[in-house]
Amino acid sequence: MKFFVDTADTDEIRDLAATGMVDGVTTNPSLVAKSGRDFMEVLKEICEIVDGPVSAEVTATDHETMLAEGRKLAKVASNVTVKVPLTWDGLKTCRALSDAGTQVNVTLCFSANQALLAAKAGATFISPFVGRLDDLGLDGMELISEIRTIYDNYPALSTEILVASIRTPIHLKQSALIGADVATLPPDVLRKLANHVLTDKGLEAFLADWQKTGQAIL
């Protein structure tokens, strides 16, 4: 499974990328707004930090303007993935950009039918939002399982499942068990994956025993 980090904070991205755990980055207008910086400047900097796909979202809602914005974003760097919403205009834009060789991330997916449409439109990635479904009392993981089954039924569909709106490490584990291709994680959730109380206790015991020896490696 590939890990993308879901943030526009370049300091966070640099820090996490140094671990080798970051295969890409996803951004959206809300995340860029939080950074307080110029959108195109932030996008260019992120693309220089990571080699993998960097999703940059269009802000228009009509096909023609989406397409123009997508083409402009794609020129920023070779690893830009244009993110479009799962609407009919977004799907038309996805097809046009995909046919031109640009990677496309179709976002705001909440049903398996939507995911099938995105795949047929040539999406590189489909982004189902599991956390937002859970917020409504629905089962976000059920959607991931349905999409995995549908895509596996038709090998000609090459779209990768990019699980979004991940809130907890449990979401990540369940996505991996189902066989999702990518998970995009907020920095704090990515860091939590390494945490376990027994790891902390074991390390504390090992260090206490080592201190008793009076030795030092350096």
Residues annotated catalytic, as ranges = 83
Place of tokens 């060789």: 101
Sorted by sequence, the CB contacts under 8 Å of residue 57 that are 6+ apart come out as: 27, 28, 29, 82, 83, 84, 107
Compute the half-sphere exposure of residue 29: CA atoms within 13 Å on the CB side of its CA.
7
CA dihedral (108, 111, 115, 116) positive or negative: negative
Helix (H, G, I), strand (E, B) or coil at 23: coil
Are the beta carbons of 70 and 58 closer than 8 angstroms? yes
User: What is the helix (H) or strand (E) element at residue 91, kind and residue range?
Assistant: helix 88-99
